[in-house]
Amino acid sequence: MSDADIEFFWDPICPFAWLTSRWVTDVARQREYEVDWRLICLSILNEDSDYDNFPEGYRDLHNKGRRMLRVAQAVRNQHGAAAAGDLYTAYGSTIWNPDADIRSTMGEVASDGHLAGALEMAGLSPESAAAAEDESLDNALRDSTEEALSRTGRDVGTPIITFHHNGGSTSFFGPVVSKVPPPEEAVRLWDAVVTLAEWPSFAELKRSRRDDLVFPSV
């Protein structure tokens, strides 16, 4: 178990994880929390699924996520969780850029050039982009994915967050947001989530209707 205040399991291809991660980053800054940026791979999570039941293009998106996560795993192995978090910020700011046409730029995501550029943006060697082809890194990705799912159950995705509080810990899928809360609201809303997380009998709060996604400028 991590010594950090929060463990955040992410796949860079998930827009909801990206939005929640920016909220968590703001809360961590205001509260001086430490975040352990962990990895969960949607490609591995869904490898036994029938992609005919998914929207068109999801298999390709999940495979892009796996390539990016291999690089993130290599970075985490060599430089630690904070560097992996910096790489996540670089990934997210290039993929979910509100000033770009996301659909038209998605084809370049997880390409060698995109990976090298994200690494440089994070202050890391672009040579680490070669890890995208290293299938041996899938073992660590699988272990991390299984660890995340062991905490929440298997019928979830990303983000998965583990809260460490009062000598214990609680894990949930989510929170899922369509827009990052403004800084003046971020902590108040976060405290509401933590209050629910601390109640051991609380399991789920869900609303399927969602607003359009609003990505922040980074």
- pLDDT by residue for the chain (218 residues), tens digit each? 678 899 999 999 999 999 999 999 999 999 999 999 999 999 999 988 788 777 788 899 999 999 999 999 999 999 999 999 999 999 999 999 877 777 778 899 999 999 999 999 999 999 999 999 999 999 999 999 999 999 988 888 899 999 887 777 889 998 999 999 999 999 999 999 988 888 888 888 877 777 778 887 66
Tell whether 204 is covered by a domain: no
Q: Is residue 44 part of a domain?
A: yes
Residue pair 90/98 in contact (Cβ under 8 Å)? The answer is no
Say how far apart CA 5 and CA 30 lie, in whole Å. 13
Q: Which two tokens stand for residue 2?
A: 């991590």
Considering its fold, how many domains does the chain have in total? Answer: 1
Q: Is residue 114 part of a domain?
A: yes
CATH number at residue 52: 3.40.30.10
Task: Read off the tokens for 101.
Answer: 């046409």
Residue 138 resides in a domain: yes
Residue 218 lies in a domain: no
Is 216 a domain residue?
A: no
In a domain? residue 101 = yes
Please indicate, yes or no, if residue 132 is contained in any of the structural domains.
Answer: yes
Give the structural domain span for 137: 6-197
Strands across the sheet containing 35-39: 35-39, 6-10, 160-165, 168-173
Q: What is the pTM of this model?
A: 0.91
**Encoding tokens for residue 197?**
């997380």
